Amino acid sequence: METSWFVVVNPRAGGGKSIVDWPKISRILNKYDIRYTHAFTEFKYHAVELTVNAVSKGYRNIIAVGGDGTLNEVINGIFIQKEVSPSEITIGVIGVGTGNDWFRMYDLPHNYEDSIKAIKNNRVFKQDVGLVEFYESGVRHKRYFVNAAGVGFDAEVALRTNRLKDLGKRGALLYILSLIKALIRYRTTRINVKLGRNHIQDKVFSITIGICRYNGAGMMQVPFALSDDGLFDVTIIKRISKLNVLANIHRLYNGTILKHSRVVGLRGSDIEIMSVPNVNLEVDGESVGETPLKFSILRQAISVIVSDSFVQPEVPQEKVSKHITTIEQ
Ligand SMILES: Nc1ncnc2c1ncn2[C@@H]1O[C@H](COP(=O)(O)OP(=O)(O)OP(=O)(O)O)[C@@H](O)[C@H]1O
């Protein structure tokens, strides 16, 4: 039987590029004989609701048109619905976002025609999904994520970037601008990170908890992450001077962050993070809540379409073990 897709379009993604480009995207979907129904999101979190409804109507193939935030909401919808196991649903992405960091992991093309060809080819890859429990306005919440989460400075940068995006600004420079502004104000915090029986209690600048390798519009804070190994890669940047941060920004982009003496790399499946005072959290680039946090991982729990040429970028074990301590749990 011919596959029928449900397409969730976030008209605000990429600073409004999505709505401008939708006629072009829909023409290409038709050109490749992709049978679909679409809906535009009308408000934040609407993609969660649209996804739940689509699955209850029988759709098992969903395309997210937008950025990392839209994909995140579709994933959360897939985990909220109770009709089928989440891995039975195939997710394609047509990237129109500003950061599109999840995309970078899978060599997915940035032009619409090639993204749609990839969807037509239907090469499915099962990747891990993170689950984080956090507080927002004093209430405990849960959120699933597929790319990376950030705590402390990382989340502060996301918060500032998102405020600029809400004002209609776009482009990768937003992240750099927000990073510099956040740096001027940010203070390190005493944070307690618990992985299995291991505790790290220290003054911490920033923590990234990654499934995929990229965040912050192309930064590589978890450069060795494997998206299907059932483990988070965790990069902890301990207290560091602002000058030292500026002198090492290039390390965030070239994948050498773990070589810095104030940086700790860990790998594990269950993580708890507490802090005094509470610090912010971002998941897949969305600013959501604050500490205390509890992370767990669901191995290969979701089916995503990747490019035909994608191979999981393996790193020699001796290189990984030089920079990352794997915690058995
Ligand atoms: N109709 C809407 N009105 C306002 N906000 C919306 C609407 N639909 C979705 N959103 C919100 O838009 C935000 C941004 O979406 P998304 O992340 O997909 O785009 P982006 O920020 O341009 O991309 P990226 O995160 O890759 O940089 C999300 O927080 C989502 O909840």
pLDDT tens readout for residues 3-50: 899 999 999 998 899 999 999 999 999 999 999 999 999 999 999 999
* Distance from residue 327's CA to the centre of ligand 1 (Å): 35
Say yes or no: CB of residue 206 within 6 Å of ligand 1.
no
99 lines ligand 1 (CB under 6 A): yes
Q: Report how far apart the first and last C-alpha atoms of the chain are (Å, whole number).
A: 43
Residue pair 147/319 in contact (Cβ under 8 Å)? The answer is no
**All structural domains of the chain with their residue ranges:** 4-122, 130-298+312-326
Ligand 1 center to residue 12 CA distance, Å?
A: 6
Statement: residue 86 has pLDDT above 80: yes
| Pocket of ligand 1 contains residue 284 by CB under 6 Å | no
The whole-number pLDDT of residue 209 equals: 98
Taking the CA of residue 70 as reference, the ligand 1 atom at the shortest distance is 18
Which atom of ligand 1 is nearest the CA belonging to 95?
A: 26
Tens-digit pLDDT profile for residues 135-170: 999 999 999 999 999 999 999 999 999 999 888 787
| Concatenated DSSP letters of 103-156 | HHHTT--SSHHHHHHHHHHT-EEEEEEEEEEEEETTEEEEEEESSEEEEEHHHH
Ligand 1 atom showing the smallest separation from residue 14 Cα: 22
- Cβ–ligand 1 distance for 108 under 6 Å, the answer no
Helices (H) then strands (E): counts for the chain: 10, 15
Q: Which atom of ligand 1 is nearest to the CA of 217?
A: 27
What pLDDT shows up at residue 99?
A: 80
Cα 187 to Cα 33, 182, 279, 325, distances in angstroms: 53, 10, 10, 27
* Cα 70 to averaged position of ligand 1 atoms, centre (Å): 6
For the entire predicted model, the pTM comes to: 0.95
Percentage of residues of the chain with pLDDT beyond 90: 80
* Mean pLDDT score of the chain: 93
The per-residue pLDDT for 1 is 58
Q: Are 328 and 196 in contact (CB under 8 A)?
A: yes
11 Cα–ligand 1 center, Å: 8
Give the pLDDT mean for 199-224. Answer: 94
pLDDT of 127 above 70: yes
Could you tell me if the CB of 10 is within 6 A of ligand 1? yes
- Supply the DSSP string of 53-103, one letter for each residue: HHHHTT--EEEEEESHHHHHHHHHHHHH--SS-GGGSEEEEEE-SSS-HHH
- So what's the architecture of 130-298+312-326 in CATH? Sandwich (2.60)
- Which residue's CA lies nearest to atom 13 of ligand 1? 69
Give the C-alpha distances (Å, rounded to integers) separating 276 from 16, 159, 263.
38, 19, 21
Q: Which is nearest to 260 in space by CA: 284, 236, 282?
A: 236
- Ligand 1 centroid, distance to 247 Cα (angstroms): 32
Region 192-216: what's the mean pLDDT? 94
Residue 241 Cα to ligand 1 middle (Å): 33
pLDDT recorded at residue 170:
78
CATH superfamily placement of domain 4-122: Probable inorganic polyphosphate/atp-NAD kinase; domain 1 (3.40.50.10330)
Structure tokens at 249: 């920004």
Q: How confident is the model at residue 220, as a pLDDT?
A: 94
> Which of 251, 209, 261 has the alpha carbon at shortest distance from 234?
209
pLDDT at position 280 over 90: yes
